[in-house]
Amino acid sequence: MTEWFEWRDAPASARFAVLGDPISHSLSPDIHGAAIGSNGEYVALRVPAGELDSAIRLLQELGYIGVNITVPLKVEALQLCRVLDPVATRVGAVNTITLGTRSGANTDVAGFVASLNGRSIQSALILGSGGSARAVAVGLDSLGPRLACWARSGSDAVDRLARETATAVESVTSLRDIRLYDLVVNCTSASMQGASLPVEWEGANPDALAYDLFYGPSKFLEGAATHGLSTMDGKEMLILQAAVAFEIWHGRQAPLDAMRRALA
C-alpha cells in the first residue's frame, strides 16, 4: 500500500504527484521515486472527481512541476489543459500534465506500443471500450494490424470508440473466435475486480499473446496460460508510460533499469 495524502494536505516539499481516486494502490510513486533517486519528491494524492481544477491550482501555488492523472480523472484533466498533444486529443484523455504551461499529454499510448517491443501483430482483439481501450486502439492503429473490439455494453460503445479515436475497429459481440487473433488485450477493469470475462480460449492460436493492462495475476491471464498462450501483465506498460512522463518533465532519458527494479 502506497503512502498517500488528501490533495488539500499535499506536502509542500514534493514536486510531482499522481492524482486519482482511489490512489492507495498506485505504483507511480515507487517508479518515479526510483527514477528521480529520492523518495518524497513524487507523492500520491487522492483527488475525487470534480475537484481536479482546485487541486491543480493548489499544487501550482506549492511549486509542483508535474502530475500524472489516473482513474477517474483522465477526461476531466483533458478539459483543464491549455495545450494538448495530438495523441491526448485523439484518445480523449490526459495522463500527464506539466503544470507551468498546463500542457497535457497521453503517455499511455507510447507506453503500450513500446511494451510490445516490436512484436509483429497481424490481428488484434481489444476487450473493453473505456480510457485504456481508446489508448490501446490508437497505439495499435499506428502499427497496422486488423483491429476488433468487444465491449460488454455492446457495439454502440465500440462504434463510439472507433469514431472518436478515428480508428478502423470492427465490433465483435462474441468471444468465441479467439483463434483469429495473435494479440488479445484486456482493457476492461474486470481483473481489478477479480472478475472473469467470457473469453473462450479453446482453439486459440498458441503463438498469440494475451495481454492484461491490469498489473498482477488475473483470471484472464490464468485462462490464457492454461491454453498455452504467452501472457503479459500491465507492469511494463506502466513503467514505459512513466518513462515518457519522466522525459517530458526532466528533459533527460529515464533510468529504465532503476524504474523496473522498483517494481521487481
Q: By C-beta, is 81 or 114 nearer to ligand NDP?
A: 114
Question: DSSP letter string over 16-51?
Answer: EEEEESS-TT--HHHHHHHHHT-TTSEEEEE--TT-
Q: What's 150's DSSP letter?
A: E
Among 26, 68, 165, 191, binds ligand NDP (CB under 6 A): 191
Q: By C-beta, is 61 or 170 nearer to ligand NDP?
A: 170
Give residues with Cβ within 8 angstroms of 113, minimum separation 6.
139, 142, 143
Our finding on whether 165 is near ligand NDP (CB under 6 A) is no
Q: Which three cell numbers stand for residue 116?
A: 510490445
Among 29, 104, 131, 223, binds ligand NDP (CB under 6 A): 131
Give the HSE-up count for residue 13: Cα atoms under 13 Å, Cβ half-sphere: 4
Q: Which three cell numbers stand for residue 133?
A: 481501450
Q: Which three cell numbers stand for residue 72?
A: 477517474
Among 54, 153, 173, 230, binds ligand NDP (CB under 6 A): 153
Cα gap 235→238, rounded to integer Å: 5
Among 11, 48, 92, 130, binds ligand NDP (CB under 6 A): 130
Binding mask 26-65 for ligand NDP (x = CB under 6 A): ----------------------------------------
Phi and psi at residue 110, to the nearest 5°: -65, -40
Residue 235 annotated in active site: no
- Alpha helix (H) residue ranges in 146-253: 155-165, 219-226, 235-250
Our finding on whether 199 is near ligand NDP (CB under 6 A) is no
Decide if 202 contacts 176 (C-beta within 8 A).
no
Q: By C-beta, is 131 or 139 nearer to ligand NDP?
A: 131
Binding mask 170-189 for ligand NDP (x = CB under 6 A): -----------------xxx
Give the count of beta carbons closer than 10 Å to the beta carbon of residue 177: 13
Among 132, 140, 209, 224, binds ligand NDP (CB under 6 A): 132
Tell me the catalytic residues.
74
Please give the residue ranges that form the binding site for ligand NDP (CB under 6 A). 71, 108, 111, 128-133, 151-153, 187-193, 195, 197, 213-215, 234, 237-238, 241
